[in-house]
Amino acid sequence: MKKTAILLSAICATALLYVSCSSDNHEETASTSLTNIGASVAVDTSNEMDLSTGLLITTSTSTTGKTTETPTGICATVTITTPNGGDYPKVFLADFGTIGCTDANKFTRKGKLKVTLSGPITTPGSKMTIERIDYSIKDIKLEGTIEYTNTTTVAAVPQWTRKVTNGKLTDLQGGVYANSGIYTTKQTAGADTPLVLSDNVYEITEGTHTVTASNGETLTLTVKEPLIKKYSCLFISKGQLKVQGGILNGVIDYGNNDCDAIYTYTHENGSSFNLSM
């Protein structure tokens, strides 16, 4: 018999997550361990959001010649500098303010993102580095560095690695989730319009990231089926992650390529938990 939906306050408190659960048994799974799944997805989502912001500010300001502006779609003021006096490296400092501002997706951000380009991100070998400075999304504190490196070998199929180091998410209840990992990303649509981001579609074909909670429990999430990320969608819309750690052994499924916030965790015993960002 299916049980009625439950709300896990610990997950809701992250402000990015809502969880409804339908399972046959094993309600103990919907505890700290399930909270860690929600936090792990929040970690990955915030990394994708910041990566999208980095791409937006470096693409939208690349042809204007201005040193300070506010790109359409985000509420930060962006200052552009070239420390060595040439075209690159180029540094973009996105300042969301200490009080914060609300972006087009209705997320309030505070602090700064420092984005450094070693060269055009569409050029093989170029790297975009994103550093978080006193930074938060919806009062969830985020730390760490994202490195996005162009590893393209076939011009028709642009490819990057996304590496996260010293990642840390602190939720509204003070729970801390350290994280790191690396993904391989291929662009499957929009490559012929490099200055237009809205038609871009990315496929995360392989990779693993780990998330360690304050209590020491570590989850390892590995790409099981390629993850589809449309630039026009806030969240991943399709694909699967294998989840292992503690009492957890199951699969996160992001659905059927719809632009929604819904995903499902299915435990190895068949228990299923419907979650929403």
Give 166-214 pLDDT, tens digit per residue: 999 999 989 999 999 999 999 998 888 887 888 989 999 999 999 999 9
Query: How many angstroms separate the Cα of 125 from the Cα of each of 144, 179, 190?
Result: 22, 25, 20
| CA gap 271, 28 in Å, rounded | 11
List the chain domain ranges: 9-62+143-276
Predicted confidence at residue 32, as pLDDT, reads 56
Which residues, given as ranges, of the chain have pLDDT below 50?
A: 1-31, 63-64
Q: What is the pLDDT of residue 22?
A: 42
**Residue 255 identity (one-letter amino acid):** G
Mapped to the 3 state alphabet, what secondary structure does 208-236 carry?
A: EEEEEECCCCEEEEEEEEEEEEECCCCCC
pTM: 0.86
Identify the H or E element spanning 250: strand 248-256
Count the residues in the chain.
277
